[in-house]
Chains A and B, each alone.
Chain A
Amino acid sequence: MTEEAKQVLQMVANGTVTVEEGERLLEALKAPTTPKADDEPQEKGTVRMPKYLRVVVDEGKQKVNVRVPVQLIRAGMKFTALIPDNAKGDVEKHLSEKGINLDFNKLKPEDVDEFIQSLSELQVDVDDGEKATVRVFCE
Chain B
Amino acid sequence: MMLPPALIGIGFSKRGRNGFRLWFPFVLLWPLLFVVFVVAFAIAIPLSIVVAPWGYARPVFLFVPYVWRALSATRGLEVDVAGEDGGFFVSFI
Contacts and interface: CB of A to CB of B under 8 A. Distances in A.
A81 B62 contact: yes
Interface in A81-108: 81-86
Contact of A86 (B55, B62, B80, B82): B55
> What range describes how many residues of B lie at the interface?
20 to 34
B59 interface: yes
B24 interface: no
B63 interface: yes
Interface in B48-86: 55-56, 58-59, 62-63, 66, 69-70, 72-84
Interface of A: 51-52, 61-69, 71-72, 74-76, 78-79, 81-86
A interface: dominant SS: mixed
A82 B62 CA distance: 7
B78 A75 contact: no
- Looking at A61, A64, A75, the one whose CB has the most chain B CB atoms below 10 A away is A75
Given A61-B83, A65-B80, A84 B56 contact: yes
A64 B80 contact: yes
Given A51-B76, A69-B77, A84 B55 contact: yes
Contacts of A78: 66, 69
23 contacts: A61-B83, A61-B84, A62-B82, A63-B82, A64-B80, A65-B78, A65-B80, A66-B78, A69-B75, A72-B70, A72-B73, A74-B73, A75-B72, A76-B70, A78-B66, A79-B66, A81-B62, A82-B62, A82-B63, A83-B59, A84-B55, A84-B56, A86-B55
